[in-house]
């Protein structure tokens, strides 16, 4: 069922984002039509944990770059969150119609099972907890399954991700603006899905002044109507004058052009791999914009997934209160990163990367 794919996929080790991945596997199942990439960056701290993304890519080259960057990000995220997990990621290559079938999910589950526990998956963009249930019928190396009883952790990790980002935004506002209140703080939120929408509701509950945008303009407007926020088009949200820009959609949005147009004091959001390239972190420093490293601020979801997975392996049930207790470490870690950045002159991204690399034995 599993093959190594085309010449383009085989040249992944020449890509800038390869970063000594332990394994990269291209999976193709002719019967179901499944095409997927599973990337394992590191298992130094434990099984490689990271979600599965279901997405339509223009070509496999873009898909493998995404998988490599996301996988490395998971290594750093899990290490910085103090979890006994390495980093991995999977992307299922959707066709233009985003057709997803039970047969594809079954074949994907078989591919994970064949790795023997080196990779543990959960949901990401384009996947649901129902998909995780389907995959779990073929492999035990899956988490993010529906909650079985009140107070239990599990299911969609999005709300925990949003909660952690909310705490991180508050920490950034405290560090940069010197206030522990969000009332009247102007926050531009990019993306109003599970994570961005959940974050916006938490921010609105503390009377932040919100501007929302989403590629789905109707979804953004509906949330704005609910929260008393304003909206702008998706292509304008990064130029809005605000105190905080919170990116919660896709990555690689902070590049030379977009950073020059930012009109904020803080960038703090849940999108993975926000920096197009590492040097863009220095551009943020040059513009005196405080940056919250994405894999630190958005760790809430994987914290939930990891606690659920290890609890199940021990025959018990993880509790929501356990996850919430671990989320309080996010603002503490961010503040430590910003303090070191201020004292050394390094960007917060460089400080966080150095910390993470040391934790996984690559520092």
| Catalytic site positions | 89
Question: Given the DSSP bridges, would you call strands 266-267 and 48-49 parallel, antiparallel or unpaired?
Answer: unpaired
In which region does residue 97 sit, left (phi positive, over 0), alpha (psi from -120 to 50) or beta (all else)?
A: alpha
Other C-beta atoms within 10 Å of 261: how many?
A: 8
Q: 92, 135 in Cβ contact below 8 A?
A: no
User: What Rg do the C-alpha atoms of the chain give, in angstroms?
Assistant: 20
Pure H helices in 97-239: 102-114, 129-136, 158-177, 194-205, 217-227
Contacts of 36 (CB under 8 A, 6+ apart): 26, 27, 28, 52, 90, 91, 92, 93, 108, 111
Query: SS3 string of 8-63?
Result: HHHCHHHCCCCCCCCEEEEEEECCCCEEEEEEEEECCCCCEECCEEEECCCCHHHH
Q: 346, 353 in Cβ contact below 8 A?
A: no
- Residue located via tokens 């105190």: 243
Tokens of 98: 């985003």
Q: 324, 48 in Cβ contact below 8 A?
A: no
Q: What does the buried/exposed string (b/e) look like for 118-127 if buried means 16 or more CB atoms within 10 Å of the residue's CB? A: bbbbbbbbbb
């Amino acid at each position: 069922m599993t093959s190594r794919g085309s010449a383009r996929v085989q040249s992944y080790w020449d890509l800038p984002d390869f970063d000594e991945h332990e394994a990269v596997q291209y999976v193709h199942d002719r019967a179901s039509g499944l095409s997927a990439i599973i990337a394992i960056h590191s298992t130094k701290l434990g099984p490689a944990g990271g979600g599965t993304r279901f997405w339509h890519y223009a070509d496999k080259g873009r898909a493998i770059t995404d998988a490599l960057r996301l996988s490395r990000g998971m290594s750093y995220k899990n290490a910085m969150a103090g979890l006994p997990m390495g980093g991995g990621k999977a992307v299922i290559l959707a066709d233009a119609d985003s057709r997803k079938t039970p047969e594809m999910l079954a074949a994907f589950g078989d591919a994970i099972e064949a790795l023997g526990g080196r990779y543990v998956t959960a949901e990401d963009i384009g996947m649901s907890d129902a998909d995780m249930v389907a995959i779990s019928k073929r492999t035990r190396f899956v988490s993010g399954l529906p909650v079985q009883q009140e107070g239990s952790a599990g299911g969609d990790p999005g709300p925990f991700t949003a909660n952690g980002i909310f705490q991180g935004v508050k920490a950034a506002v405290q560090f940069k603006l010197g206030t522990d209140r969000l009332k009247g703080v102007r926050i531009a939120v990019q993306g109003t899905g599970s994570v961005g929408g959940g974050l916006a509701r938490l921010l609105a509950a503390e009377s932040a002044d919100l501007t929302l945008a989403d590629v789905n303009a109707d979804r953004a407007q509906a949330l704005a109507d609910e929260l008393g926020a304003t909206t702008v088009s998706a292509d304008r949200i990064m130029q809005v004058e605000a105190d905080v820009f919170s990116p919660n959609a896709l990555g690689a949005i902070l590049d030379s052009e977009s950073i020059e147009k930012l009109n904020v004091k803080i960038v703090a959001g849940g999108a993975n791999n926000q920096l197009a390239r590492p040097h863009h972190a220095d551009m943020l420093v040059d513009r005196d914009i405080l940056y919250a490293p994405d894999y630190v601020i958005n760790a809430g979801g994987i914290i939930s997934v990891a606690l659920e997975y290890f609890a199940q392996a021990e025959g018990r049930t993880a509790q929501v209160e356990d996850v919430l207790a671990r989320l309080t470490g996010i603002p503490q870690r961010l503040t430590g990163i910003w303090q070191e950045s201020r004292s050394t002159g390094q960007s917060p991204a460089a400080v966080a990367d150095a910390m993470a690399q040391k934790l996984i034995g690559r520092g």
